[in-house]
Structure formats: structure tokens, C-alpha cells
Structure 1
């Protein structure tokens, strides 16, 4: 009993010492918390070391680095990020390219260079892509970095080749068109193709023709694609129509809000709902034209040319031509000929605006250049004439004509 008491007495000072330390520690901590609260709230944790790394090594702003570092909080060293950045820089990525890719998915900094990056870059080189091409591919379709070459990339390449018709076109879109290559074959591509073929009755060749310019159309979620089909049908376009897929392509690039804004703009010029739908059927790309461009063209054809809105709806292709480079100068030329008693009826403007630059010059301008030299001034202002020989204004549709003409000058 005495021994027990002695033991208790000998332990008591040690217990009191530990208790004192405990109280002092938490008293100090409480004071710190109280002090922090007094000067502005909660105590912020120390920033992760990757915040500073992203600022210094990648060039991100502090706020960007703080945001992206959250995905990298598990890292305990910069070994993998250093290896990834060194690899990217040695393969043609500049600072802006690196920031773009890392901002899309900061976890790329955790890749194993030898296992994850080297095989994909080698595969892209084997496809015939140059170093700058590969940079473009990764920027636009960065999910390639997450895919297995044999299990995912090769099957995707094969199905896109079959859809677009050639490997060259697939590679072109890989460099320029974002996101489409990451779509799952089983979850997205096959269900969407089956829907268009079996439920909508659209032949695969029509689908393929549109996908050659807009591959992202088939990469939408199935529910989204169904909604797009409904919007096309609301315009009065039957699924079996040859215009159905081009309409889908244009709707794919236009939000509902933008679509309604353009419809309202054209209604303000007197178009009815049926005239709007009729114009879209004839010229689907009207949906992707800018509102300001549409407004200026409608004002010109109504106020200057004298067309009623319903006529423009019936000939909506008028709205595809550039005002400054084609519509206005050609109208001025025809007006000038009319004032000299040499012209044609105004109604034929519908015909003359469709002529290639070469044919317009040969049929209308050059035969009258001696009698009406002012014609050359009009086309010269538009950039269509220079010196004593015709210099054709280059539009995409006229490039071949231009080459042929210059060969014989």
C-alpha cells in the first residue's frame, strides 16, 4: 500500500507537467484562432506547393494556379510534372500550348511519360503527322492523352475513316476540330448512327457527306441529337428530304436563343413563319450567318434593289453573297448600264448575281468598257479590275476560273 502511494506520488509531478503543457498549447492555439478571427475570419491552410509550381513553371496566374492545383493535391513532389513539361517542350509545345492543355485537364501533369505519352506521340508520328501537327492534335483533341493506343485510338481512327471517307480527312479534323475524337464508339457513335439510319431513315451516305465538314454532329449525346431532329422537323423539313442533314448541321451550330433571335430579326422585315421556314429550306446556312450581316443584306435588297421580302424568301440564296464584293458592285454596274440605255431589266439581277466573276466580267463589263468606262471604276473599287486587263476578285467558288484566266493572259 505504501509502495502504491509512493508510485502515485512519484507520477503526480509528471502528470501535472504534461497537463500544464497541454493547457499552454491549447491556450496558445485558442489565442491564435481568436486573433485570426479578430483580423478577418478563418485561418486559411497553407497553399499546396503546386500552386507556386504552376505559376513559375507553366506561367499561370495565381488564381488559375490555385484552381488547377486542386486536382494535383495528391502530389508529393514535382518529379512527374517536371518530366511531363520537359517532354512537351521537347516536342514543340510552347508556353501557351502547354497552358491550354493543362488547363483542360491538370491531371496530365501526373502522366507517366514513358508509359502514357511516348506511345501516343509515336503513334501520331507514324500516321505521318509533323511535330506542329501533333501539337494541334493534342490542343484540339487532348483526350487522346488518356486513351490506350490499341484499345481506343486505333478503333476510333478506323470508324472515323469509314464515316469521313479517308484518313486524310480524319487527320485534318484532328488538327482543327475539337472534341470529336474523344467520343465513345459504344456509348455515342454507334447509338447515334443507328438512330439516324433506323429511326430517321437517313441513308449513311447522306450522313457521311455532312460529317465530312461537321464531325461533331455525330458526337453529341443521343438525347441532344433527338432534340435536334425535332427542331428540324418543326421547320417543316421531312426526315427523308435531302436537306434534312444540312439543316441538322446548321442547327447543331446554333443555340435555340440565337435561332430565335435570327427568326425575330427576319420577321421584323415582314417575313411570315412559313416564309422563314421556306428560306431556311433553300439556304440552311442562313442559320449560321451573323445577325448584322443578315440585317445589312435585307436592307440592301429591300431599300436599294427594290425587292419585296417575300421575293427574298423565295430566293434566299441572295443572302449568301458578300455585299461589298459582289452584290453592291454588280447592282451599280447594271444600274449604270440602264442609265445609258444599254442595260438589262432590273429583274435579271437575280441571274447576274449568281454568275462567276469571270462570266460577269465577260458578259457585262468588258463588252461596254469603251462606251461606259465608269463600269471599270465601279469594279475597280470592288477590287475586280486592274490596269488594262481584268483582275478577278477572288471568291472561293471562282478560284479555278481565276487560275484558268490568268493562264491565258
Structure 2
């Protein structure tokens, strides 16, 4: 009787699963999903469809990667990254975009960099979207090699609307700084919104104040591009902060003066005090802090975690004197993971092997561009030290080579 009841119950459950939406749990080959019981054979069909869809996505992704490598000159790694930001199944539009860029003077090296920085340009309408912008850039004076160079450095500008963004901001800043300003400098300001009349007046007053302090016009224009919001402050506040920087020893004729303005513009007194206290934990005096700020004002903007992590590596792992770091604060700004540690590992190993002077200053190789560092410290010794590239890329730990940072005190060689 019990077995018969169980069998009947099972049949009933199966019927309910097919004909109703009642939540049921059983052991008859059904899986419960929220409030709907779905037969396993139906789920298998769904999984097959999902698998086919995933395969289709992979094929599209593979097509984009291949195109980015073969037609745009991107490396495999950069192509994979770019393919996550742009999707296309055929090359028709992308081919038209590349053809248009070439007509406006872009060569392979320009195109590669433009696509790497802004891959979505490949799916933009070449005639309705891109050509009008390129024509406008040319009309304001960007011609010849200037246009490709400008596009490489300001690729994100291609994402903005011409009528509602680029032209209004360009005209606004041209009226503010004067008609003799370089077109490229004005267009770079298009990363920002169109200031209202009051904001425009403040910008004019602040720019005039910088000129009165002796700042070169080229530097002012450059700072307007990179630190635009600094000039959006009320003129009285701007003048007060400028005086504070001068009292600290910063010179208005140098770009770090504007960096100093940027550093303290959005920083409260309490935040400033907190950041200085962090450095004081490492033995910095008030004079060390002022000296570091004069050399690299942005050092005060780092998070507590970054400051503590970098200082721990430099002081405790390598053995650099804390006050020596204050004399070269730029090394605090570098990425520990991507720059300081891998470069230090390579140079440390080369020193132990006698290829590099042991009195080499740390700041000398940390400040080098990526290309110069590779040429001078990796490629140059690749034959003598085949695994040097693996060490630099993080595929090999320096301790595996039998040396460590503690083997040499770099204290006096910052």
C-alpha cells in the first residue's frame, strides 16, 4: 500500500511539474527554480542554446581581436582589452573609419594608438560623426602632422558631440584666453563643461592673477588644460591659496606651482594635517614636508594606504633613509607594483652581478620612461641574463635568483 501511494504521488508530482506553477521538490528528475518546476530535459535544451549563444559571442570577440591586430596594429594583449569595449561582426564600418583617418594624415602608428585609447571610434559613423569633427579641427588650424598628433593625445575628444560640446567649449575658452592661443590647447579644454558667465569671469581674473605673478603664458595655457578646475575658484580664494604657496617657497613661474594649487584646492585644513601626520610617522620634520611639497606637490594627495605601503618598501625593505625620500618625493608617486618594485628588482640583480654601478641613484632609473628603462637595463643585458625580462614582468621573484634587497643598503643612493 505504501509503495502504491508513493508511486501515485510521484505521478502526481510529475503532472504538477508539467501543467502548473506550484513549487515542488521531489527526486523524480525535476529541479526547483524559484516558483517554477522545470523538467531536466527542458533545462538541458536551454543549456545547449546558452552554449551556442556563448560560442557565437566568442566568435564575434575573436573576429574583433583579429581585426584589431591585423588592421589596426594593436598587440594581442591590447587587442583583447580593446575588444571588450567595442563589438562588431563585419569590418565594413571599421574599414571606412580607418580609410577616413588615413585621408586626414594618420599613419599606422597614429591609428594604432588612437584605436588603443578609444576603440569605439571603429563603430562611429565615418561621414555623419567623424568627418565633421575632423573638418572642424582642420578649420581651426590643425593641419598636416599636427592633426594626427593631436588626435593621438586627445582621442577621447572624438566621443563628444561637435555642436553641443566641442564647438561651444572651444569658443568659450578662446574668448577667455584670447584668439592667439594654440588651437590644440583650446580643444584640450573641451574635456570640461561650458562655464557659465560667472565662472568665465572667475577664470579670467585667476588667469590674470597668474600673469601678474610672473607665470609664462605657455605654462598658464598648459595648466588650464590639465588643471582646469583650479581656475574655477572665486578669485579671492585663488589669490589666497597662491600666496600660501609662495610663502611655502613655490615659484609661480614653474608648473609645480599650479600642481600645488591643484593639491590644496579640494583639501581641507584637517585633511592637510592628517596627511602631514602620516609622513611624520616616518620621521619627516615640518621642513621635510615643505621640501617634499615644493618638489612634488601631488605627494600630499596620496591616500594613507599608498603612503604607508610605499614608505614601508622604500625604508624597511630597501633601506633608504626616510629623509632621503623627502628629497625625492616623486618616487612616492610611482606605482609600487608596476614601477618601483619591478625596476628595483632588475637593477638590484644587475648590481649584484656587476653589470651596474652599485652607487647608482634609485631616482635615476625610476624616473626614466618605460622605453628608456627597457633599453638601458633589460634589453641591453638580455643575452647575458636571459631571465631578466621574466624578472621585470613579475614572472620570476628576485629571491629565486639568490639575492634580495636586504643584501645592499641603498640609503645614500636615492
TM-score normalised by L of structure 1: 0.50
* CA offsets 1:363-384 (integer angstroms, 9 cap, x no match): 333444444444232123279x
Say if 1:340 and 1:219 are closer, same or farther in 2 by CA, change over 3 A: closer
Aligned pair 1:207/2:223, yes or no? no
For the aligned residues, what is the CA RMSD? 3.8
| Superposed displacement of residue 215, structure 1 | 2.1
Aligned pair 1:192/2:206, yes or no? yes
Structure showing greater Rg: 1
1:134 to 151, 156, 161: 161
| Superposed displacement of residue 295, structure 1 | 2.1
Matches of 1:238 and 1:154, distance apart in 2: 30
Q: Is the 8 A contact 2:227 2:258 kept in 1?
A: no
| Superposed displacement of residue 301, structure 1 | 1.0
| Superposed displacement of residue 331, structure 1 | 1.4
SS in 2 for 1:275: helix
1:354 to 348, 367, 372: 367
Counterpart residue number, 2:178: 162
Tell me whether 162-171 or 307-316 shows the greater mean CA deviation: 162-171
1:261 to 262, 269, 274: 274
2:240 to 217, 227, 237: 227
2:192 to 145, 170, 177: 177
Q: Is the 8 A contact 1:164 1:170 kept in 2?
A: no
Say if 1:254 and 1:375 are closer, same or farther in 2 by CA, change over 3 A: same
SS in 2 for 1:192: helix
| Superposed displacement of residue 348, structure 1 | 3.2
SS in 2 for 1:270: coil
Say if 1:345 and 1:256 are closer, same or farther in 2 by CA, change over 3 A: same
Say if 1:213 and 1:239 are closer, same or farther in 2 by CA, change over 3 A: closer
Where do residues 25-36 of structure 1 align in structure 2 (5 Å cutoff)? none
Say if 1:327 and 1:211 are closer, same or farther in 2 by CA, change over 3 A: same
SS in 2 for 1:344: coil
Say if 1:322 and 1:125 are closer, same or farther in 2 by CA, change over 3 A: closer
Tell me whether 356-365 or 128-137 shows the greater mean CA deviation: 128-137
* CA offsets 1:255-308 (integer angstroms, 9 cap, x no match): 434333222211111111111111111112223333322222111111122110
Q: Is the 8 A contact 1:254 1:287 kept in 2?
A: no
* CA offsets 1:14-45 (integer angstroms, 9 cap, x no match): xxxxxxxxxxxxxxxxxxxxxxxxxxxxxxxx
Q: Is the 8 A contact 2:176 2:200 kept in 1?
A: no
| Superposed displacement of residue 236, structure 1 | 2.7
| Superposed displacement of residue 312, structure 1 | 0.8
SS in 1 for 2:250: coil
Where do residues 78-93 of structure 1 align in structure 2 (5 Å cutoff)? none
Q: Is the 8 A contact 2:185 2:221 kept in 1?
A: no
Q: Is the 8 A contact 2:214 2:252 kept in 1?
A: yes
Structure 2 alignment gaps of length 5 or more:
1-131, 138-156, 397-414
Counterpart residue number, 1:249: 262
Q: Is the 8 A contact 2:292 2:326 kept in 1?
A: yes
Q: Is the 8 A contact 2:176 2:203 kept in 1?
A: no
SS in 2 for 1:184: helix
Counterpart residue number, 1:71: none
Matches of 1:156 and 1:225, distance apart in 2: 21
Matches of 1:282 and 1:224, distance apart in 2: 23
Counterpart residue number, 1:393: none
Q: Is the 8 A contact 1:334 1:344 kept in 2?
A: no
Say if 1:293 and 1:189 are closer, same or farther in 2 by CA, change over 3 A: same
Say if 1:378 and 1:219 are closer, same or farther in 2 by CA, change over 3 A: same
Runs of 4+ in 1 over 4 A off after TM superposition: 124-132, 135-138, 238-242
* CA offsets 1:171-202 (integer angstroms, 9 cap, x no match): 4433x324x6224377423433333333x344
Matches of 2:208 and 2:386, distance apart in 1: 61
Say if 1:258 and 1:154 are closer, same or farther in 2 by CA, change over 3 A: same
* CA offsets 1:110-167 (integer angstroms, 9 cap, x no match): xxxxxxxxxxxxxx999959996239966xx9xx9xxxx9xxx897343245389344
